[in-house]
Amino acid sequence: MSTLLKGPFRMVSFSHQFLAVSFGILVAGMIIIGTWIGHQIENNTVNRAAAIATVYVESILATRLQAFLRGGGIDRETRAALDRVFVEGPLSRKVVRFKLWSPDGTILYSSDELQSGRRFPVQGLLAAAFAGTVQSRISNLDGPDNASERARWSELLEVYVPLRSGASGKVSTVAEFYHSTENLGRDIRAAKRRGWALVAVATAAMYLMLLAMVRRANSTIAHQQRDLNRQLQQLRTTLGENNRMREQLRDAAVRTTALNEQFLHRLAADLHDGPAQEIALALMRLESLGEERSDAGATQGTTPRTFETIYRALNASLAELRNMASELGMPRIAELSFADTIRRAVTDFEEKSEAKVDIEVDDALAEAPLAIRITVYRLIQESLNNGWLHARGATQQVLARRDGTHALIEVADQGPGFVRQAAFDSGRLGLAFMRERVRLLGGVFEVETEPGCGTRILARLPLSLDETASA
């Protein structure tokens, strides 16, 4: 049931929810307070009427029951005097029934002569009256001693008055009388109506004050909500523009990576086919020239040594130029899987450096865009070269595994290590280029190193360009 109500209730505005709940609480409070006030009015009215009637009846009985209270019993003269008051006199219109009780529950006198002499259990209000307190209530006449009263009335004001003997002050008998509730009921109903009206007016006033406060607060909240919605819309627009710019940046990074590799391939080819060929030709001409001079019996002197020095310098330059061309170029990896690209990078390094690298590759790394494979190849190539240059002879490791939609690449060595921030601040292009390559594709690049503790290069790269866009 609460689940069924929760949906529609959630569609109502907060101010209306508050007003509905507060209305229910105020109505419940009004009912509780009104009911309590009604009971208090009824009790106070009954007690006031009973007190007035008690004083009146006691003043009448004081002169007529002196002998009885002194222990003389109710004689014929006393009974006749009581009849003149409660049966024949004007008081009979208000006190419709009068009884005198003995401590053992015997009715010593009753304005209904048929009840005189009967005996009933002493309990309830009668027992409390014998204990010395005046008792009163509006009775529905359901007691065993009320048979004759039930035949004529539906309810009466029932009052018990303890009467004390003059000598000991002990309660010797209890006077019980029944008062008509016709006027009393009318007074009680009128007082209750006034009480309910007062409670209703107070409740309505409180609700109206709450309504005014909530409407004012709701107006402020609505205004702020409109401002927030407007700002949210602006934020969404800005976010959309940022996403478009990020997609454009991602596409540019992918194109830049491909174009960069094409440029490096072309540069490597140009170096190999241009300056390298020219230097090689010059070396061949120098070699031929040296042989011709030897055959001609040239004089010994500084000329052969000069030729030899030039030859060695040109030969070293040619080797360095070819080495640069081989490093700038990249083997064709378009047909290779991601895992094979990683293995190829390690193999190329081992062939060039004649060093051994421990490699562990997750075969789940099967597919990845070309731009990501190129970046990983360059990352491993640069990391292994740096480790080989600065930590010759130290063990090197390459670990690659899949982590959901990303690849985790780790290149580690047991070399001397270095101060990380100092390396970045010094302007080392290798670390900076690796970091920017990884970040351009939405990846994360980290370097863990300390002097004397080796170095770990960590990279986390997405396995698809969609993940790159959402990174």
Q: What is the pLDDT along the chain (471 residues), one digit of tens a residue?
A: 444 445 555 566 677 777 788 888 888 888 888 888 878 877 777 777 777 767 766 676 665 665 565 555 677 777 787 777 777 776 667 778 888 888 888 888 888 888 888 899 989 888 998 888 888 888 888 888 888 888 888 888 888 888 877 666 788 888 888 887 777 777 777 888 888 888 889 888 888 888 888 888 878 888 888 899 999 999 998 888 888 877 767 766 666 666 566 656 656 655 655 565 566 666 666 666 666 666 655 555 556 666 666 667 677 666 666 666 555 555 677 788 888 999 998 998 888 888 899 999 988 887 888 888 888 998 998 888 888 887 777 789 999 999 888 999 999 988 888 776 666 666 555 777 788 888 888 889 998 888 888 889 999 999 886 655 555
Q: Are residues 391 and 285 in the same domain?
A: no
Q: Are residues 168 and 42 in the same domain?
A: yes
DSSP H or E stretch at residue 308: helix 302-328
Q: Are residues 279 and 162 in the same domain?
A: no
Q: Are residues 299 and 383 in the same domain?
A: no
User: CB within 8 A of 254, min separation 6: which ones?
Assistant: 369, 371, 441, 465
Q: Is residue 259 part of a domain?
A: no
Q: How many angstroms separate the CA atoms of 459 and 398, rounded?
A: 12
Q: Are residues 180 and 41 in the same domain?
A: yes
Q: Is residue 207 part of a domain?
A: no
Q: Are residues 338 and 397 in the same domain?
A: yes
- Per the structure, the complete domain to which residue 300 belongs is given by 274-329
Number of domains in the chain: 3
CB 172 within 8 A of CB 103: yes
Say if pTM beats, i.e. exceeds, 0.75. Answer: no
CB 397 within 8 A of CB 357: yes
